[in-house]
């Protein structure tokens, strides 16, 4: 496996909480997939989980080397969890198309959060 890119991000959980409070469902449905909303909303510290997924999406964009260009939307990057809780990235839309063109086969992710901050680190890998 070759590393195509790395990315990291950190965000204040209170910033995400303020966005949710101010914009509500409009913010949530713009940034998060229905699966992510269901997952985060079911957690006791929902704002920390939303912030973690926000940081993960930003870290993935950095690993892909694009930022919010080339037709990539927030919901094109989805954080899912394996049975043991390990996060994994599912790509669709513009993000998936970019990976196919550039030979990226997977984006590895790790997420951590506490009351104040959430952080994520992503590695884009491929065979080429």
Residues that are catalytic: 62, 113
**Secondary structure E strands in 2-76:** 2-12
Whether 120 contacts 6, CB under 8 Å: no
The DSSP call for residue 7 is: E
- Token representation of residue 18: 């303020």
Q: Cβ of 100: how many Cβ atoms within 10 Å?
A: 10
CB proximity list for 106: less than 8 A, separation 6 or greater: 89, 124, 125, 126
């Amino acid at each position: 496996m070759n590393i195509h890119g790395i990315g990291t991000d950190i965000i204040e959980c209170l910033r995400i909480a303020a966005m949710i409070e101010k914009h509500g469902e409009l913010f949530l449905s713009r940034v998060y997939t229905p699966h992510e909303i269901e997952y985060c909303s079911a957690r006791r510290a929902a704002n920390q989980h939303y912030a973690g997924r926000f940081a993960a999406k930003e870290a993935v964009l950095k690993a892909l080397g694009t930022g919010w260009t080339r037709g990539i939307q927030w919901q094109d990057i989805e954080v899912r969890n394996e049975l043991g809780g390990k996060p994994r990235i599912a790509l669709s839309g513009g993000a998936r198309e970019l990976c196919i063109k550039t030979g990226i086969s997977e984006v590895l992710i790790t997420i951590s959060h506490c009351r104040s901050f959430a952080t994520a680190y992503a590695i884009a890998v491929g065979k080429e």
